[in-house]
Amino acid sequence: MKPLVSIIIPTYNRAHLINDTLDSIIHQTYTNWECIVVDDGSTDNTAILLQQYIGKDARFQFFTRPEHKPKGANACRNFGFKQSKGDFINWFDSDDVMEPNKLQVQVDALIQNPEAPYCICQTKWIDKNTNAFLGLRAKQISSEKRMEDYILYKIFWSILAPVWKRSFIEVNGFSFDETLQQSQEYDFHIKALAINSNYIALDEALVSMYKHDENLSNNIFENYSKLESNIKVKEKIVHKYLHKLSEKGVVKLLEIQTLMFKDVLKARKFKLAGKLGYLMFKTLLKTKISIVKKIVFCIKMPVAYWSYFIFNKGYTIIKPIG
């Protein structure tokens, strides 16, 4: 018997989109799977649609997020994992699709490489309206310094791409942070990379992520909760993983923080800018740049902060330190 793969999908009001996702799972050449869909409180006919799929194929399961769990995809993913029984796990989204050979290729790769904790493939970016190919979701999914380069956005992959060994997730107690409204996948992947970055990287694009009106992310600088979540994840990086970065990596991280600091000030989110400024100072202390540059940087940051607070300008004061 081939190992069971658990596909876990959170959904919310996607009855008009999830058909393509579920059909792509039905058409997998690897047939020993279970698909667990967890609804986040939909008000459309998602439940009716899923019952139709369950009636035709018992490998589908449908749950509703428990009321005691916070609303959001993260809680649905964690709840779905607890219901799952698979030796392998593939978290997925309710508006994207798998290539027919996705599970077969990645499960085979993991069986052939027993030391690898997970296998990552490439992701295609498709326009839903025109079906036009927009390119790969990321140019690279692997490098020589995988954890550092992922933190610094030099490599990247979507939540759709990995197939995980269940044992790796359970032994390390991995779960999605249910307090996050943004960067939850980024946060989860960094936790995994910190434990083991020896994953299998496949250049083959085995999943397609669709661009449509409903998944176009809002500007996080206009959404306090999303911006707060983004900064929370960056706090984790500074407090837990900064020591794992190279000297150049720390400087690059400070550059990323500085550019974000500028945009947070421009959006007049001063409380969050203060939090980010503290992170920048902590990161600055770990850099190997000259004392003079550090002093200049420490002067410019509060000047820019108060310039925006009082005059609503000062963008040009801030310059990345690299």
**CA-to-CA distance for 320 and 201, rounded, in angstroms?**
32
Same domain, 61 and 203: yes
Q: Is residue 56 packed enough to be buried (19+ CB in 10 Å), middle (13-18) or exposed (0-12)?
A: exposed
| Among 156, 191, 215, residue at a domain's last position | 215
Same domain, 207 and 162: yes
Copy the structure tokens of residue 116.
């690898």
| Among 171, 192, 215, residue at a domain's last position | 215
Tokens 């990086």 -> residue: 237
pLDDT in tens, 80-124: 999 999 999 999 999 999 999 999 999 999 999 999 999 999 999
> 322 falls in which pLDDT band (50, 70, 90)?
low
Same domain, 293 and 265: yes
Task: Note the pLDDT of residue 1.
Answer: 79
Mean pLDDT in residue range 296-311:
92
Answering whether pTM is above 0.75, one says yes
Same domain, 28 and 113: yes
Same domain, 146 and 285: no
User: Residue 239: pLDDT above 70?
Assistant: yes
Same domain, 207 and 310: no
| H helix or E strand, kind and range, residue 194 | helix 184-195
Same domain, 90 and 103: yes
**Burial track 272-300 (b if 16+ CB lie within 10 A, e otherwise):** bbebbbebbbebbeebeeeeeeeeebeeb
Put residue 203 in one of left, alpha, beta given phi > 0 → left and psi -120 to 50 → alpha: alpha
| Among 215, 246, 279, residue at a domain's last position | 215
Question: Would you say residue 127 lies in a domain?
Answer: yes
pLDDT in tens, 123-171: 999 988 888 989 999 999 999 999 999 999 999 999 999 999 999 999 9
Same domain, 63 and 191: yes
Question: Would you say residue 322 lies in a domain?
Answer: no
Q: Which domain holds residue 85?
A: 5-215
Question: Would you say residue 120 lies in a domain?
Answer: yes
> Domain with 111 in it: what CATH number?
3.90.550.10
What is the chain's mean pLDDT, rounded?
94
Mean pLDDT in residue range 165-192:
96
Question: Would you say residue 306 lies in a domain?
Answer: yes
Same domain, 189 and 158: yes
Domain count for the chain, please give it. 2
Find out whether 120 and 162 touch, Cβ atoms under 8 Å.
yes
Same domain, 190 and 239: no
Task: Note the pLDDT of residue 188.
Answer: 97
Mean pLDDT in residue range 182-186:
94
Same domain, 251 and 179: no
Same domain, 59 and 125: yes
Copy the structure tokens of residue 257.
């923080």
Question: Would you say residue 297 lies in a domain?
Answer: yes
- 217: number of Cβ within 10 Å: 8
pLDDT in tens, 210-229: 887 666 455 677 889 999 99
